[in-house]
Amino acid sequence: MNDVLLTFILIVIKLGLVLGTVLSLAAYMVLAERKILGRMQMRHGPNRVGPFGLLQPLADLIKLLCKEDLIPERADRWVFMLAPAISTITALLAFAVIPFAAPLHLFGRTIPMVICDLNVGLLYLLALSSLAVYGVALGGWASQSKYSLLGGLRAMAQMISYELAMGLAIVPVVMSSQSFSLTAIIAAQQTLPNAIRHPLAFLIFVIAIMAESKRTPFDMPEAENELVAGFHTEYSGMRFGMFFVGEYLNLIVLGAMLTVLFLGGWHGPLLPSVCWFLIKVLGVAFFFIWVRGTMPRLRYDQLMAFGWKILVPLGLLNILVTAAWLLWRG
Amino acid sequence: MPTLLFYILAAITLLSTVLCLTRKNPVHAVLYLVHALFALALLYFLLGAPLLAAWQIILYAGAIMVLFLFIIMLVESPVADQSSRRLSRWLPPAALSGSLLVCGGALIVMDPAATAVISSYWLTPRDFGCALFEHYGLAVEIISLILLFAAVGAFHLGRRYRPNSKEDVS
């Protein structure tokens, strides 16, 4: 009984740690994005609230909480209110299976640094990313506005198409580590990260997650110059805030996925494993912001054609080659 | 306890399916169907098949229903009635999804690795086939006929709205 209680307490502690870290990281990711984008465009970015603008996320939060929560008259009330929650929750739930550090040895016990080491962890992540589509689609539909609807439809089509490429890029990783468990996948990368072992899959995965997170150059669902703000046009106050936070949480989730699947997880020399994990995740996030500051937006037909005609066939070919190679090696 | 959970989950599945069939708003129907699929996935988990549960969510809830939703969103939806603030409107979905959440939590706490919770329900494929086609043979036939009717009905509905005369154009 004591053992069960201890395990329970440990899980609660881990939950609190992960939730706190991830939420504050998401808030500061917004600030980081604004700062870095500002520097890339030869301006300063937010620098008025607190030293170096460090309290800006707090000010934003207070502003969003104080704003009026508007619901359009003809909107489908409950679906409208539900959609932002789906967006945020699917992003938050993903952290349950991501191992963020090497197992800790404390008082003769081995504590795995992951909330739940699911043996189908990878499929769990894929399931959550496919459910995330609902938040966007329902938000767009329930607003009863043409801009929202078009944004929602675009987001749906885009996310479904690129999910396929993402799934195909993951298959070689699963083949070489022979497990769906994220812990086992990290363990298989102790000597060589999968990014070097499967370079093509790595490339496809990076492009696919960029499209999956609906960021430039794939930000068609919220293209300002044609759709106002896409699926969240009609949202205001904290409901918009939830979509916004969900987006940045998603950025961290996808960064963590890339780290776990291709960049060797928490493996690294000298520094403690948590530090390596954070460095890699934040590095990926910085890369995403960098791309946003550099690349123009694609046209919608280009986007779909690229997904279906280039990424998916390449992914399939990559699986074939990897399988043949693994078979040949025995 | 697992047996009790099985019946609760089965009831949730059935209830959501019935609600899905009786909704006037097609998007709400899709939401109830997704809910039923979730309950079904938990049932698979309860029967010791976490892989199947994951595929159920990824393929059915995540891909096929999204395609349904994609088409339905393009269809003009009925204007939402303003009585939807009433308790009776949101209590059924809230109660359903709440109980599903509790069941899921109980399932995870009881048996996180899904190592065959209800072992007495194990069947070999041969037994399963015999039970399906001998004991429930009539039901299988009826279901296949219903699917056929649905296909014919969809075909018929699609034909009727084809612009057939020049009056429509002018």
A8: nearest CA partner in chain B? B109
Q: How confident is the model at residue A156 (pLDDT cuts 50, 70, 90)?
A: confident
On whether any CB of chain A is under 8 Å from the CB of B90, the answer is yes
* Burial class of residue A59, CB neighbours in 10 A (0-12, 13-18, 19+): middle
Q: Average pLDDT in the A157-171 region? A: 87
Q: Average pLDDT in the A173-198 region? A: 83
Q: How confident is the model at residue B84 (pLDDT cuts 50, 70, 90)?
A: low
Beta-carbon separation of B113 and A153 below 8 A? no
Q: Phi then psi for A109, rounded to 5 degrees?
A: -110, 150
Whole-number pLDDT of residue B148: 94
On whether any CB of chain B is under 8 Å from the CB of A15, the answer is no
Looking at the partner chain, which of A78, A127, A138 has a beta carbon nearest the beta carbon of B84? A78
Closest by CA position to A248, among listed A58, A22, A20: A22
Residues A207-226 have pLDDT tens digits of 898 888 887 787 777 767 77
Question: Of A123, A158, A166, which to mutate for an interface test with B (greatest number of B Cβ within 10 Å)?
Answer: A123
For residue A130, the chain B residues in CB contact (below 8 A) are 57-58, 61-63, 66
Distance CA B38, CA B112 (A): 17
Distance CA A142, CA A168 (A): 32
Numbers of helices and strands, H then E, in chain B:
7, 0
Q: Average pLDDT in the B58-65 region? A: 85
Q: Average pLDDT in the A164-174 region? A: 88
Q: How confident is the model at residue B52 (pLDDT cuts 50, 70, 90)?
A: confident
Regarding predicted confidence, which is higher, B141 or A274?
B141
Regarding predicted confidence, which is higher, B118 or A178?
A178
Beta-carbon separation of B28 and A79 below 8 A? yes
On whether any CB of chain B is under 8 Å from the CB of A165, the answer is no
Q: Average pLDDT in the B97-118 region? A: 72
Whole-number pLDDT of residue A45: 80
Lowest pLDDT segment from A176-185, A264-273, A311-320, B36-45: A264-273
Whole-number pLDDT of residue A1: 58
Q: What is the pTM of this model?
A: 0.81
Percent of chain A with pLDDT over 90: 2
Q: What single-letter DSSP state applies at residue A228?
A: T
From the candidate CATH numbers 3.40.50.300, 1.20.120.1630, 1.10.3720.10, 1.20.120.1200, the one assigned to the domain spanning B1-77+90-116: 1.20.120.1200
Whole-number pLDDT of residue A238: 82
Whole-number pLDDT of residue B149: 93
Residues B89-104 have pLDDT tens digits of 777 778 888 888 888 8
* A158-182 burial code (b ≥16 CB/10 A, e <16): bbbbbbbbbbbbbbbbbebbebbbb
Closest Cα of chain B to A71: distance in Å? Answer: 12
Whole-number pLDDT of residue B145: 93
Beta-carbon separation of A76 and B25 below 8 A? yes
Q: Is the pLDDT of residue A191 over 60?
A: yes
Question: Of A11, A76, A150, which to mutate for an interface test with B (greatest number of B Cβ within 10 Å)?
Answer: A76
Whole-number pLDDT of residue B170: 44
Q: What single-letter DSSP state applies at residue B163?
A: -
Residues A78-100 have pLDDT tens digits of 788 888 888 888 888 888 888 88
Q: Average pLDDT in the A243-264 region? A: 87
| Dihedral sign (CA A315, A320, A323, A328) | negative
Closest by CA position to A223, among listed A286, A302, A165: A302
Distance CA A195, CA A76 (A): 45
On whether any CB of chain A is under 8 Å from the CB of B64, the answer is no
